[in-house]
Structure 1
Amino acid sequence: MTSQPQNAVLAAVDELQGVLSLAEVLLHTGKTLDLQGLDKEVAGICEAAAALPPDQGRAARPALADLLRQVEALHGQLARR
């Protein structure tokens, strides 16, 4: 069973993954990206995840790892641009 704080973290991760997916599409179509504020969003998710009880934090780890991979992939795409 998930808690409300854990659900909030997972929902924030899901929302940010959607934003990053859109950013990837825009990047591939040659559009200019404005990622201002992305660092604050990620920091907020990390802070919320760190505040979860250990068992809930461990349960959220796969979603956070997927988010990290997506951020790193976008960073790599931007660096090659």
Structure 2
Amino acid sequence: MTHTPQDAVRAAAKSLGGVVTVAEGLAGAGRSLDLDGLEREAAALCGAALMLPEEDGRAIRPDLALLLAQVDSLIVRLRR
């Protein structure tokens, strides 16, 4: 199977979503979090998404929207 840059960005978004899910669980358990690594990975993901051809970038919007929703949920959890 051939892996494209679009596939790599999609996989990175899914992986980062898993990290956010774990972070949300830890926050819900009252654990303190260091989000520096998450911020770095999100910045790298955004940079990679911007480098995609326009059509490929549009195709991964749902994946990025899902990740954004997960991050928003984490933010809400951290503000409690």
Shift of 1:71: 0.8
* Structure 1 residue runs of 4 or more that deviate by more than 2 Å after TM superposition: none
Residues 24-33 or 55-64, more deviating: 24-33
Structure 2 letter corresponding to 1:69: A
Does the CA-based 8 Å contact 2:28-2:77 persist in structure 1?
A: no
| Structure 1 Cα separation of the partners of residues 3 and 50 of structure 2 | 14
Trace 1:22-61 onto structure 2 (pairs within 5 A): 22-61=22-61
| Structure 2 Cα separation of the partners of residues 3 and 46 of structure 1 | 19
Residue in 1 that maps onto 2:76: 76
Residue in 2 that maps onto 1:66: 66
Residue in 2 that maps onto 1:16: 16
| Structure 1 Cα separation of the partners of residues 79 and 46 of structure 2 | 24
Partner of 2:69: helix, strand, or coil?
A: helix
Shift of 1:22: 0.6
Percent of counterpart pairs with the same letter?
Answer: 51
| Structure 2 Cα separation of the partners of residues 21 and 13 of structure 1 | 12
Segments of structure 1 that go 5 or more residues without pairing to the other structure are none
Q: Superposition RMSD on alpha carbons, in Å?
A: 1.4
TM-score (normalizing by structure 1): 0.88
Shift of 1:37: 2.1
Structure 1 letter corresponding to 2:28: H
TM-score (normalizing by structure 2): 0.89
